[in-house]
Amino acid sequence: MAANNKTTMVINDRVLKSLCQEYLVEIGFGLYDDLPNIKVRYVVETNKFGYAYFGDFFFFGDDFYVWDDDERWKDGHNPDVVEAVFQDKHDRSGYAHRVIFAGIETEFVDSNGERIFTGDVIKLEESVDYVQYYAVGAWAHEDGVGSYCFILDNHYLPLEDCARRNYKMTRMGTVFYQLDASDFMEVNMRTMQFNGWRDTYEDRQRKLLMAKFTPNFDKEEWKYSALEIIGAEYNWKE
């Protein structure tokens, strides 16, 4: 199920939460006309992301819930949360189950024509001799004014500027590694942890390795190295 109308807003976790509250009745009754056209990513399990459009998800506090008709989510359905969020303003089938929110689809594409999401780790080539790896965040006010960008130490680099300057951007992975099932850290916080301005070369290589094997709940860094050694393939782009 998909939303119809486009939005020019810049969406981060907080803006998305506000929009879900604004359209609470539509979400509760499964009404899709005139909804913002927003696609999100979430963690299904290790090595598997899922995707949903606005109208098929909501927040309960800081927890993120997705509606799904698949019977596999029957045991994960939480009617108490549905009742607490929507009260008597809901009438839809399916199962509302808690997941880890994993970013917003932006209007930008990388060098392979793949749509970039917040939380993606990008290989940024400003020139042949200057290559950096940054994670994408969303710098946005409550009204959605802002930019999708690389949030750095004391400034940010908008993707729009990178595209205008013809910098080559290639998706290399995501920041959803060393996850905790109960951890709903904002995507921007994860990206800023990846974009550590004091990182050594070794720190950056270690983070980049983990970013390639996402989503992943392993805490021990050596397990990510083991995945590379055995040639494991993760389908984080699907």
Domain ranges within the chain, ordered by starting residue:
13-101
Average pLDDT over residues 107-123: 97
- 106 Cβ neighbours under 8 A, 6+ residues apart: 115, 116, 117, 118, 136, 138, 148, 159
Average pLDDT over residues 129-136: 94
Q: Is the pLDDT of residue 238 over 80?
A: no
- Choose between 89 and 64: higher pLDDT: 64
- Return the pLDDT at 206: 96
| Separation of alpha carbons 117 and 92, rounded Å | 29
* Contact assessment for residue 49 and residue 42, using Cβ atoms and an 8 Å cutoff: yes
Average pLDDT over residues 122-137: 94
- Return the pLDDT at 43: 95
Model confidence pLDDT, tens digit, residues 18-50: 999 999 999 999 999 989 999 999 999 999 999
CA 41, distance to chain mean position in Å, is 5
- 63 Cβ neighbours under 8 A, 6+ residues apart: 81, 98, 184
Average pLDDT over residues 109-129: 95
Model confidence pLDDT, tens digit, residues 195-217: 998 899 999 999 999 999 999 99
What is the band of 140 on the pLDDT scale with cuts at 50, 70, 90? Answer: confident
- Return the pLDDT at 2: 33
Q: Is the pLDDT of residue 111 over 90?
A: yes
What is the band of 188 on the pLDDT scale with cuts at 50, 70, 90? Answer: very high
- Return the pLDDT at 3: 38
Q: What percent of the chain has pLDDT over 90?
A: 76
